[in-house]
Amino acid sequence: MKETKAVIFDMDGVLVDSQPLHFEADRLVLENCGVSGFDPEIVQKYAGVSVADKWAGYKKDLLIQTDVKKLVEMYSEISEGLIDTSDLMASKFAADVLKSFKERGISRSVASSSSPSFIRRMLEKIGLGGSEFFDFIISGENMERGKPAPDIFLAAVERHGISAEECVVVEDSSNGVKAAVAAGIRCVGYINASSGEQDLSLADFTIENFRELIL
């Protein structure tokens, strides 16, 4: 096994327990579209996928008449607004682990399916927006294919300038784990109850606490 030179983090559900915020944004958008009785369990299969793919799925599953572009615009405005009024904090020990990796010369990046503006605002909100924490961020919004396709992780590996075998991905969703495996990258499954019933069985190992992230 090659030495780990970079760690690629998913954001939502990993660096921050933000899935409840996304559920609330989904509920509000669906309510605006006349869909009532929102059940958070319906979103579990869309955990980790791009915003556009999620709303295309909702449109099909719930027979929504509004076009996907408009749904995405509504969702982006609502979800980013919720960041400002939330009391979200970084996952416990995340900042310590990130600082430790930097001291050891391990590069760090964020590869999230959220939009670039949402990623930046969220990282600033939880105190991880500085360059001392991450070398760069990549958004699934800029990928041709979203998770579970490997595109976002392959792009991260290329930007780190190393091989896939020298990277590790940290993911909380089944789609994210599948994307890491498809990219040929070792994967740590982060168990987060707020992410729902996610199948992390393809991960190399799982953790429930950032202190367990010893590479």
pLDDT tens digits for 78-100? 999 999 999 999 999 999 999 99
Token look-up 């416990």 returns 92
**CATH 2.30.30, applies to 19-85:** no
pLDDT, tens digit, 9 for 90 and up, residues 125-170? 999 998 899 999 999 988 999 999 999 999 999 999 999 999 999 9
159 and 136 in contact (C-beta within 8 Å)? yes
Q: Where are the domains of the chain?
A: 6-17+89-212, 19-85
Q: Per-residue pLDDT for 6 more than 70? A: yes
Cα 62 from Cα 55, distance rounded (Å)? 10
CA dist list (Å): 47 to 57, 108, 138, 150, 169: 12, 22, 17, 15, 16
Mind giving me the DSSP string for 38-69?
Answer: --GGGGGGGTTS-HHHHHHHHHHHTT--S-HH
Cα 183 from Cα 179, distance rounded (Å)? 6
Closest by Cα among 102, 108, 141 to 14: 108
Mean pLDDT of the chain: 92
Architecture of domain 6-17+89-212: 3-Layer(aba) Sandwich (3.40)
